[in-house]
Amino acid sequence: MSLARTTALAALLLSGSQLSTTAAELPAAIAAPGETVVLSVHAEGAQVYECKAGANGKPIWLFREPIATLMADGKTIGRHYAGPTWEHVDGSLVIAKAAGNVPGATPNDIPWLKLEVISRRGNGVLSGITTVQRINTTGGQLEGACDKIGNTSSVPYSANYVFLRKG
């Protein structure tokens, strides 16, 4: 998919359009062909980074964890945190690992991701989820050098998370 088409798709989704995103409309690296959307939510939160020693011994920022509130229809319906983990208010939970990514729309935006579910808990809405997509990201990339090992920095971000299942 061209950058222009990806940007147009992101703009439509961010505008609140009822556009239905299909696997064919997302870049191949994060598409989930044959899977069905179960839930789509908006997240607002922060990407947390920690200053650690790099391979050369100099301090560098490394991603530590996300912290975000998951919302649908103006209501808080869950949270997103280290793992990466998504927890719904009904008690269901999934943990996933990255399986693909594409760059965000600008250098300040964290990448769009495809994540494969590796663990689940509970019998709620997330119980049958096999894939999570992070799309329409805004912000989250940390700029600048770190000066002291152990320091942390939080960068605000927002994204849409799409939860899918096979079949």
Give the model confidence (pLDDT) of 105-155 as tens digits: 999 999 999 999 999 999 999 999 999 999 999 999 998 889 899 999 999
**Alpha helix (H) ranges present in the chain?**
3-14
Judged by DSSP in three states, 10 sits in: helix
Give the model confidence (pLDDT) of 50-86 as tens digits: 999 989 989 999 999 999 999 999 999 999 999 999 9
Say if CB 163 and CB 43 are below 8 A apart. no
Of 146, 122, 134, nearest to 40 by C-alpha is 134
Say if CB 141 and CB 103 are below 8 A apart. no
Quick one: DSSP state of residue 26?
A: S
Q: Rounded to an integer, what distance in angstroms lies between the CA atom of residue 78 and that of residue 106?
A: 27
Sorted by where each begins, the domain ranges of the chain are 3-46+63-140+157-166
